Amino acid sequence: MFSGRWVYDEEAYALYKESACRFMSENLACGRYGRTDLRYQHWRWQPHGCDLPRYRKMRLLEKLRGKRLAFVGDSLNRNQWVSMVCLIDSATQGLHKTLISAGTLVSFNVHEHNASVDFYWSPLLVESNSDHPVRHRVTDRTMGA
């Protein structure tokens, strides 16, 4: 899965519309900044030695039933969390969903499936006084194990 290459696929299409995803901030959405060349959406990952099946919304939703999926890390991991939430949100029209933010934890919940996709802001592997999810810089940084 980790060994492969990016291939251009004319049949490929965007799995969700970034303009329709209410969880995507403007700084993550290429189209909101006026990008008109959407060919980048036709690239997909092809692992060596196996066939990666096309994403199916309902299959992912069923796999998440009764589970919690967590993303932990910095802005790169947050971007992955946003993409996952946009994928799930596009598959759950008409269902009861909530987004709860509590400090460094943001939780997206699909209540009918008892499923949550969480993001925990933790840019370092050690505890630090600069782990705030928005204000990253402090004048006197301290870290501990």
Nearest 5°: the CA angle 67, 78, 135 is: 125
Please provide the DSSP assignment of the chain as one string: --SEEEEE-TT---SS-GGG-TT--GGG-TGGGT----GGGGEEEEETTS--PPP-HHHHHHHHTT-EEEEEESHHHHHHHHHHHHHHHHH-TTS-EEEEEETTEEEEEEGGGTEEEEEEE--SSSEETT--SS----SS--EE-
The reported pLDDT for the residue numbered 15 is: 78
Question: What burial letters (b/e) apply to 94-125, b meaning 16+ CB within 10 Å?
Answer: eeebeeeeeeeebbbbbeebebbbbbbbbbee
Nearest 5°: the CA angle 123, 24, 71 is: 35
Full-model pTM: 0.76
Q: Which of 88, 71, 78, 80 is nearest to 16 (CA)?
A: 88
The reported pLDDT for the residue numbered 17 is: 79
The reported pLDDT for the residue numbered 141 is: 57
Q: Rounded distance, CA 68 to CA 46, Å?
A: 27
The reported pLDDT for the residue numbered 130 is: 63
The reported pLDDT for the residue numbered 38 is: 80
Q: What is the pLDDT along the chain (145 residues), one digit of tens a residue?
A: 679 999 998 887 777 877 778 888 777 777 777 778 888 888 888 999 988 888 888 899 999 999 999 999 988 899 999 999 999 998 888 999 999 999 999 999 999 999 999 999 987 766 666 656 566 566 665 655 5
